[in-house]
Chains A and B, each alone.
Chain A
Amino acid sequence: MSTPLSLQDLDLPRRNGELAFDAPWQSTVFALAAAVTEHAFGGDREPFRQQLIAAIAADPGRPYWESWTAALEALVQTLPDQPRP
């Protein structure tokens, strides 16, 4: 079993109200996942959640929003080819 990183290694935020996103691309990819969930899956969040679980498991050390991006890319692959009418 690998030794887990110590929590001391992390920059633990101790306060409320930190910004949710560190960079514009992070809020964009967050909102894109919300858009796909809402408009292609009728609000069912489970398809994206399953992709996110898989993306995190595939590369546990990868930065979170990059896993999120990979999950969305994988989810988009499952959409039908034709643009919606």
Chain B
Amino acid sequence: MSAEGHHPAPVSPVEQRVAALEALLTERGLVPEGFIEEITRRYESEIGPMNGAKVVARAWVDPQYKQRLLAGATAAIAELGFGGPEGDHMVVVENTPGIHNVIVCTLCSCYPWPVLGLPPAWYKDPPYRARMVREPRTVLAEMGCPLPSETEIRVWDSSAEVRYLVLPERPPGTAGMTEAELARLVTRDSMIGVARL
């Protein structure tokens, strides 16, 4: 007989701390039954960049929607059924041939959850947070998004109450596509502004 099973993987210190928090907060009645599972399920399967992609595709095909989106993003995004935590002060910034927008949170990890889900690891890491503000053109080129020198780059720091979403330019050659087909072209990175379509 092997000793397998007698020595379960050791629990890391941070796992122990989280377990202690869970026990404490549950005891205080702050964590309803099933809450953790429900939040996890939602952020792993329902809330993500596919939501933002639908917003972008609608803006591409419907000029009036786009106007509403740029004038009042929170309400326009809610029209498509998306809202909730980290999405109540949304601003959409539009890329044009001469202007490229990119979002960052210099102090922590603010991010438009309802339309993009939780941020990717690199968005939360110090190099991106510090350097995107200081040398956006260089960082964008390193991330595979080189821009012509005449393109103006606007960096939006989400540290205030506002959460930004980039409206990428509609790619050429997509005139005949349906809204659903267009939505499939839209990537998360293009809505953060670290990629073009």
Q: Which of A13, A36, A45, A60 contacts B120, CB < 8 Å?
A: A13
Check A31 against B108 for contact (C-beta < 8 Å).
no
Give the distance to chain A from B148, nearest Cβ to Cβ, in Å.
21
Q: Which of B36, B118, B144 contacts A32, CB < 8 Å?
A: B36
The binding surface of chain B is classed by DSSP as: helix
**Stretch in contact with the other chain, from B56-64, B65-73, B90-98, B125-133:** B125-133
The answer for the CA separation of A49 and B108 in the assembled complex, in Å, is: 8
Verify if A10 is at the interface (C-beta below 8 Å from B).
Answer: yes
Contact with B along A37-63 (1 / 0, CB 8 A): 101100001000100110011001100
Check A32 against B128 for contact (C-beta < 8 Å).
no
Q: Which range contains the number of B residues in contact with the other chain?
A: 35 or more
Check A28 against B36 for contact (C-beta < 8 Å).
yes
Beyond the given A5-B126, A17-B48, A30-B43, please list 6 additional residue pairs across the A-B interface where CB-CB is below 8 A.
Answer: A13-B120, A25-B19, A29-B21, A32-B18, A32-B25, A76-B25
**Stretch in contact with the other chain, from B27-35, B74-82, B149-157, B169-177:** B27-35
Which residue of the partner chain A has the closest CB to B110? A49
Which residue of the partner chain A has the closest CB to B17? A69
Residues of A47-85 at the interface with B, using a CB-CB cut-off of 8 Å, are 49, 52-53, 56-57, 60-61, 64-66, 69, 72-73, 76, 79, 83-84
Which residue of the partner chain A has the closest CB to B144? A14
Task: Output the residue of A5, A8, A12, A36 with the most chain B CB within 10 A.
Answer: A12
User: Known contacts being A7-B139, A34-B85, is A64 close to B121, with CB within 8 Å?
Assistant: yes
